[in-house]
Copies of this chain bind each other. A is one copy, B any other.
């Protein structure tokens, strides 16, 4: 998935020093803009989002021309069909960006929300206020619409943003950035509130992730290679999503219809997504009952099955699953299946192989559901629901900047709230410590 980085050309690597100076200047400007954004009211932020949408609509010819350049360069550089598809900015995709801006304008503003305000014995009132993180750096790959998704979420949550897209989308991102700047200006906000890095020099990424004085958090969006590299090298906190090795456990007290529907949906609804099931765990007592019917359904969908020995004693044609299979995010019509003694064995398997993204149990047993919910240590834990529901829209966040598999700060789908922090507030009446 990190093929984009591989296509990046160090065409101006001799200018590394000047790139670093440029990034420092962008950082300073972002820090200053962040102070303005933090105190900007909801109405103004929404006006900016709507003005950006209007600009995108008005600039369709310019966006098409810029994108055509990127597509032409992409073809000349031999980008594969999947990459070219992600790069293309069709009219429908521009419609999608405009619709996304409108949706984010309609979401409640998380900034300024005060919670848990209580009197203390000293007479002071103590609570928490939700505030922007400050400056968010976003590093992403080919899809130019991420520029709008990320910019709009950061804008609504009161942050300043520095965006660094894939080099093959340079012209498209530049054209989108011009629309964003125009929209910010119309709303009376600093254009530096959203800055797009306009160089393909990879030194820009190195600089962006090494300026804790100017950047509060980095959100990498892209393939595992990109994210691992950034997490390793960053000197600022990273909100990251690594892999999604999700499990469904069919308990021996599962309702057979729910078990069938969920196991089928979690794998086959979409294959290339992080919340798709990659390993099915089945209680031994019901394996012979559940697996043949499921295997037939997977077969109809063209899903390749790999199983443990017990699975293969029930399903004759299944290939053996290796140790590597349990640890693999296929993102493809492939499923590994393991028959386990009971829920404890299923939870042991999950503790060992899960990436901490999403796990679901199918059971009608109250006490087991309660234990699974409490004990499985993943960003999303479900009872009797498809893992495909682990998604910002399905959870009601309105939109998401990614799905975090970290435990610190944001966990699971990251929406507006994940781009904020909480500070303590104290209201007094002259109180001093005695």
A residues near B (Cβ < 8 Å) are 35, 38-39, 112, 118, 120, 122, 124, 126, 129, 131, 133-134, 216-217, 232, 235, 237, 255, 257-258, 261-262, 264-266, 269, 351, 360, 371, 373-375, 377-386, 388-390, 394-396, 406-409, 411-413, 421-433
User: Which B residues are CB-close (under 8 A) to A266?
Assistant: 432
Tell me the bound Cα distance from A375 to B388 in angstroms: 39
Tell me the bound Cα distance from A428 to B259 in angstroms: 12
Tell me the bound Cα distance from A407 to B422 in angstroms: 8
Main secondary structure of the interface of A (DSSP, over half): mixed
The answer, among B390, B395, B423, for a CB contact under 8 Å with A120, is B395
User: Which B residues are CB-close (under 8 A) to A412?
Assistant: 423-424
Inter-subunit contact B428/A379 (CB<8 Å): no
Listed from nearest, the 9 A-B pairs whose CB atoms lie closest are A385-B428, A265-B432, A258-B430, A382-B426, A388-B433, A384-B428, A380-B424, A409-B409, A237-B408
Tell me the bound Cα distance from A371 to B41 in angstroms: 12
Give 14 new A-B contacts, CB below 8 A, not counting A383-B428, A389-B433.
A35-B377, A39-B371, A122-B394, A133-B408, A134-B407, A216-B408, A237-B408, A269-B433, A381-B423, A385-B430, A395-B424, A411-B423, A412-B423, A413-B424
User: Which B residues are CB-close (under 8 A) to A261?
Assistant: 430, 432
User: Which B residues are CB-close (under 8 A) to A428?
Assistant: 382-386, 389
Q: List 10 A-B contacts (CB under 8 A).
A: A35-B351, A129-B373, A129-B381, A133-B408, A261-B430, A266-B432, A269-B432, A384-B430, A408-B409, A412-B424
A350 smallest CB distance to B (angstroms): 11
Copies of this chain, complex-wide, total 2
User: Which B residues are CB-close (under 8 A) to A269?
Assistant: 432-433
Given contacts A379-B423, A431-B385, is CB(A408)–CB(B217) below 8 Å? yes
User: Which B residues are CB-close (under 8 A) to A237?
Assistant: 237, 406, 408
Tell me the bound Cα distance from A381 to B424 in angstroms: 6
Tell me the bound Cα distance from A417 to B408 in angstroms: 12
Tell me the bound Cα distance from A89 to B140 in angstroms: 54
Inter-subunit contact B426/A422 (CB<8 Å): no
Inter-subunit contact A38/B375 (CB<8 Å): yes
Inter-subunit contact A431/B384 (CB<8 Å): yes
Tell me the bound Cα distance from A383 to B422 in angstroms: 17
User: Which B residues are CB-close (under 8 A) to A409?
Assistant: 408-409
The answer, among B112, B126, B411, for a CB contact under 8 Å with A421, is B411
A277 smallest CB distance to B (angstroms): 12
Tell me the bound Cα distance from A377 to B134 in angstroms: 9
Inter-subunit contact B396/A112 (CB<8 Å): no
Tell me the bound Cα distance from A430 to B364 in angstroms: 10
A219 smallest CB distance to B (angstroms): 12
